């Protein structure tokens, strides 16, 4: 016998009469206490012992109370995390506001002194201030560097774009990890900048690395994975490796048509890129078919006067000219001009 029954038995067998139960009824009363989960007289009643007995007597009530306390604690913890997140987001918004205010300070009349301020000047000022202005928030700093790098890329200022995108990729790789979607996006855009600078060996290496990482993280038919595959094909084409580029572009085309449909922008881009692969391999009939498919999708998506339509239309006109269909090519060139 263990616990209270053991203590009751030992008390009943004490040699010293003064320490034994005085009467059978006292013994019976202690046994009754044990059966009712009450503290028995046969052992010292510590606070822990009394608490344990109380819990056993009121199992249901204590369980309900414990669940209620656990829920209250969970809610309190969740609220604390939410408040911390809100504060972090508010602080981040304040930092963005402060940085953007400083970024456009150059356009203030008192600063401009009557001069016209161009986008390039605002960007250049921000590029100088971004290290000090957002040093306390690396993730936000990387995000702003990435956005500014993309703007420089759109302006054709590739070296400045490369510098910002490279730093954004490094910060994100350190803060978020090499497999994070944001890190891989910075790497993708950096590879694009390197390709635009005709630094094809570096662009190929980074583009292939990004494509493989996206394949592992998101799967082979993820939109970003297919975008990286297209980018690698483009770099290979720029290196003159047209048959390798064609193979990749055909894989992307089949996947985009199956996954996203024949009218998707990614499908149009795949047709366009494939057209150039075929054009440079002098497969002009197939190139014409690919360019026409891309042109039709882009016209429906953007209208007839979008820059993408001009670019694809030029590819088609080149293909017609290469086939000595000069009148058709001339008409299309004139329309584009």
d(CA 267, CA 300): 13
Query: Out of 85-89, 108-112, 261-265, 325-329, which region has the weakest mean confidence (pLDDT)?
Result: 108-112
pLDDT of residue 74: 84
Q: How far apart are CA 226 and CA 269, in angstroms?
A: 11
Residue 224's pLDDT band, with cuts at 50, 70 and 90, is: very high
Topology of 244-337 in CATH? 1.25.40
pLDDT value of residue 273: 95
Q: How confident is the model at residue 102 (pLDDT cuts 50, 70, 90)?
A: low
Range of lowest pLDDT (90-99, 196-205, 240-249, 322-331) = 90-99
How high is the pLDDT of residue 43? 75
Q: Please tell me the distance from the alpha carbon of residue 258 to that of residue 115, in angstroms, as a whole number.
A: 53
60-89 b/e (C-beta count within 10 Å ≥ 16 → b): eeeeeeeeeeeeeeeeeeeeeeeeeeeeee
Percent of the chain scoring above 90 in pLDDT: 50
Q: Where are the alpha helices (DSSP H) in the chain?
A: 4-12, 24-35, 47-57, 59-103, 109-112, 119-133, 138-154, 158-176, 181-196, 200-218, 223-238, 242-259, 265-280, 284-302, 307-322, 326-336
Q: Is the pLDDT of residue 318 over 90?
A: yes
Q: Does residue 205 contact residue 244 with C-beta atoms inside 8 Å? A: no
pTM over 0.85: no
More confident residue, 90 or 111: 90
Give the closest residue to 270 by CA, choosing from 325, 313, 233, 225: 233
| Helix 181-196 / helix 223-238 crossing angle, nearest 10 deg | 20
* CATH class belonging to 115-239: mainly alpha
pLDDT (average), residues 277-306: 94
């Amino acid at each position: 016998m263990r616990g209270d029954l053991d203590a009751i038995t030992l008390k009943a067998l004490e040699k010293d009469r003064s320490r034994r139960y005085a009467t059978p009824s006292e013994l019976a009363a202690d046994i009754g206490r044990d059966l009712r989960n009450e503290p028995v007289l046969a052992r010292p009643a510590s606070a822990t012992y009394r608490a344990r007995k109380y819990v056993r007597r009121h199992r249901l009530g204590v369980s309900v109370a414990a669940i209620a306390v656990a829920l209250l604690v969970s809610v309190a913890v969740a609220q604390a995390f939410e408040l911390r997140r809100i504060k972090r987001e508010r602080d981040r918004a304040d930092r963005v506001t402060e940085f953007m205010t400083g970024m456009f300070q150059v356009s203030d009349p008192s600063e401009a002194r009557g001069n016209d301020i161009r986008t390039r000047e605002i960007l250049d000022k921000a590029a100088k201030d971004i290290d000090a202005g957002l040093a306390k928030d690396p993730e936000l700093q990387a995000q702003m560097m990435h956005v500014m790098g993309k703007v420089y890329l759109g302006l054709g200022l590739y070296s400045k774009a490369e510098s910002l995108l490279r730093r954004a990729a490094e910060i994100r790789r350190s803060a978020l990890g090499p497999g994070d979607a944001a890190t891989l996006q910075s790497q993708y855009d950096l590879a694009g900048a390197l390709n635009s600078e005709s630094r094809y060996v570096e662009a190929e290496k980074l583009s292939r690395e990004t494509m493989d990482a996206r394949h592992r993280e998101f799967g082979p038919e993820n939109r970003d994975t297919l975008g990286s595959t297209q980018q690698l094909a483009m770099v290979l084409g720029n290196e003159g490796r047209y048959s390798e580029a064609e193979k990749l572009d055909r894989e992307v085309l089949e996947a985009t048509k199956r996954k996203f449909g024949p009218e998707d922008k990614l499908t149009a881009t795949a047709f366009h890129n494939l057209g150039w692969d075929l054009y440079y391999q002098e497969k002009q009939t197939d190139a014409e078919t690919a360019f026409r498919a891309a042109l039709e999708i882009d016209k429906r998506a953007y209208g007839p006067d979008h820059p993408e339509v001009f670019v694809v239309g030029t590819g088609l006109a080149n293909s017609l000219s290469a086939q000595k269909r000069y009148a058709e090519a001339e008409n299309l060139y004139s329309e584009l001009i």
